[in-house]
Structure 1
């Protein structure tokens, strides 16, 4: 391993040790409003649960909205789902919805509104502006922008996916091999993302998440083998490993997309834009990582020999914890 990679390994190891041992901690909340009759709306409000704690955000509908049915609440392993039927004189178009407490979080809210006249909107509400106004007209541009932004945020917030890509780049040498590896990973997870999202293939989420963590452990072990002078499968055929495990990571992306759903009249656009957003975020991360390696090569530092072992053991240790944590969810 070059001196630059030794420095990068030490930096990544320290960074990985500081990570909270839970991936996807920024999974967004989700609000869906469907106008079922003039002035009447079905409301679905889903808030994520992380480490047993529900996101401390309250939904504040306009003052003139009243409940027609009592809220039906369902507690899931990763979220709390509330459904109810409400009524608003004159309709909700043009009115404001607030998300109380969102400002104190790092979580967004994805809002999808379907009006009786066919108007539809999809909006990503951020903590910096924790409210939205129900639009009077639908916008395909808004759907595209929202799902692309969600794709970028999902990959950049998906620590497990980024650790897998990082581990691959610590093994692969040469520009062509890096391009081939990243391309194989992209093609593979795009295939399973589309197949799972459109319902062509169904794989339970808990095993997928556990195997994704196992894939990171596998590549971390391959880094150790390289440090010991034994070229593993990843060093010999990185595109093959990237493609095989990329299929599993695609199911993980599909699970995140399923958590917020797709607009019924714009499924192809939303799916395409989400995938494009994932690729933009992934390329951005790879570019930053490669730039960091190039920069570290120029620094006059002489890290100790043991520093090259920090990154694989830190990455593998965190991934092993995730794997055990996710396997335990099989039994509730």
Structure 2
């Protein structure tokens, strides 16, 4: 029985690790430096030493002024060039990503214009092209960053696993509400402070500490399974608040990669944060619904006895792997 459990944990670990790497988005940045002229940065992920076969194609009439120059990183290839799209620029023109439809990744496109406006768009494999629109209005900005927030939290396995750990640790309904609320309030505070530039912390140590927070939470779940008690078990909302401050810096790092439009900075920040909360609430609702559904079935007693310990050890194993993996990135 134990061997089967550990085999299952290992398969889950390998699957989540592979998913995290395969789903890394490609990135296209277009900075307008003069009327119709753009600096282009095109980054494609590298998986197992192979570049994802996605080809960037501009519309006819767009000419290359400075030929592409490539540089190689550990996890991606970067291509830089300068293009000229004429006096009207890229507005109304289509950019295609050939081969994207055959992948499971997305492309994050960031366009900054001479007037100071900034737009970000996520291109999916189902529609592997993008038409550059004129400067978006307030509703367009709010909608875009709301979607970015939802997509980020639902694709952020470490943040979701921490919330999942809170659901395993807290069984009382009112205490669970306080704990999730404390976590939400805390990461909203640090997200706003970091996004506005009031506090700056380096990304790699934050990511490692987020993994460590999940590992420590898994230890507390295992302690509760043994009938023991601790400060975290008695006051989970306090611990969730302090760890939430840490996770907020992680959200801010993702938001920094997207970029905030200076003209609509408060609106974009608010919309992104609302999107994160919507995604988090969706995840909590799904987990609680599944738990309620399972309780309706009369499961064998061994399954009930092993369910929570297996979940806590799986959580701790994956968090430990992430922690040491992120530590090793300090020297690479």
TM-score for the superposition, normalised by structure 1: 0.88
> 1:69: which partner in 2?
66
SS at match of 2:120: strand
> 1:306: which partner in 2?
306
In structure 2, the CA distance between the partners of 1:320 and 1:117, relative to structure 1 (3 Å rule), is closer
> 1:159: which partner in 2?
157
> 5+ unaligned residues in a row in structure 2: which ranges?
none
TM-score for the superposition, normalised by structure 2: 0.88
Give, in angstroms, the shift of residue 137 of structure 1. Answer: 4.4
Give, in angstroms, the shift of residue 103 of structure 1. Answer: 1.2
> 2:102: which partner in 1?
104
In structure 2, the CA distance between the partners of 1:218 and 1:52, relative to structure 1 (3 Å rule), is farther
> 1:126: which partner in 2?
124
Give, in angstroms, the shift of residue 74 of structure 1. Answer: 4.3
Out of 195, 215, 236, the position equivalent to 2:213 is 215
> 1:85: which partner in 2?
82
Output the aligned Cα RMSD: 2.6
Whether the 8 Å contact between 2:94 and 2:130 is mirrored in structure 1 is yes
Out of 240, 264, 267, the position equivalent to 2:265 is 267
In structure 2, the CA distance between the partners of 1:237 and 1:119, relative to structure 1 (3 Å rule), is closer
Give, in angstroms, the shift of residue 330 of structure 1. Answer: 1.4
Whether the 8 Å contact between 1:23 and 1:160 is mirrored in structure 2 is no
> 1:4: which partner in 2?
none
> 5+ unaligned residues in a row in structure 1: which ranges?
1-8
SS at match of 2:313: helix
In structure 2, the CA distance between the partners of 1:278 and 1:92, relative to structure 1 (3 Å rule), is same
Out of 32, 35, 48, the position equivalent to 1:35 is 32
Higher relative contact order (CA 8 A, sep 6+): 1
In structure 2, the CA distance between the partners of 1:278 and 1:299, relative to structure 1 (3 Å rule), is same
> 1:5: which partner in 2?
none
Give, in angstroms, the shift of residue 17 of structure 1. Answer: 4.7
CA distance in 1, matches of 2:243, 2:254: 17
Whether the 8 Å contact between 2:26 and 2:105 is mirrored in structure 1 is yes
Give, in angstroms, the shift of residue 154 of structure 1. Answer: 1.1
CA distance in 2, matches of 1:50, 1:184: 38
Q: Which deviates more, 218-227 or 121-130?
A: 121-130
Whether the 8 Å contact between 1:65 and 1:87 is mirrored in structure 2 is yes
CA distance in 2, matches of 1:56, 1:271: 33
Q: What aligned pairs does 1:155-194 form with structure 2 within 5 A after superposition?
A: 155-194=153-192
CA distances 1:69-114 after superposition (whole Å, capped 9, x unpaired) = 2334444455444332211234322111001121122322232333
CA distance in 2, matches of 1:195, 1:174: 32
Give, in angstroms, the shift of residue 42 of structure 1. Answer: 2.1
In structure 2, the CA distance between the partners of 1:110 and 1:17, relative to structure 1 (3 Å rule), is closer
Whether the 8 Å contact between 1:13 and 1:311 is mirrored in structure 2 is no
